[in-house]
Amino acid sequence: MKATLQKLTPVRAGAEMLLTILFTGAVPRTHTYRVPREAYDEAGAPAEDEVLSDEALSLLTEKEDARLAYARAVKILAAGDNTRAALLRKLTERGFSRTAAESAVARLSDEGYIKEEEMLLRQLAIYAKRSWGPKKILPTLLGKGFSREAIRRAMERAKEEGVYDADEVRAALLAALPSDDENARRAWLYKHGF
pLDDT band at 25 (very low <50, low <70, confident <90, very high): confident
For 59-106, how does the pLDDT look when each residue is reduced to its tens digit (9 = 90+)? 888 888 888 999 999 999 999 889 999 999 999 998 788 999 999 999
Burial of 148 by CB count in 10 Å (0-12 exposed, 13-18 middle, 19+ buried)? exposed
Per-residue pLDDT at 108 exceeds 90: yes
The helix or strand, by DSSP H or E, that contains position 142, with its residue range, turns out to be helix 134-143
Q: What is the DSSP letter of 33?
A: E
Tell how strand 29-36 and strand 16-24 pair up. Answer: antiparallel
Q: What is the pTM of this model?
A: 0.66
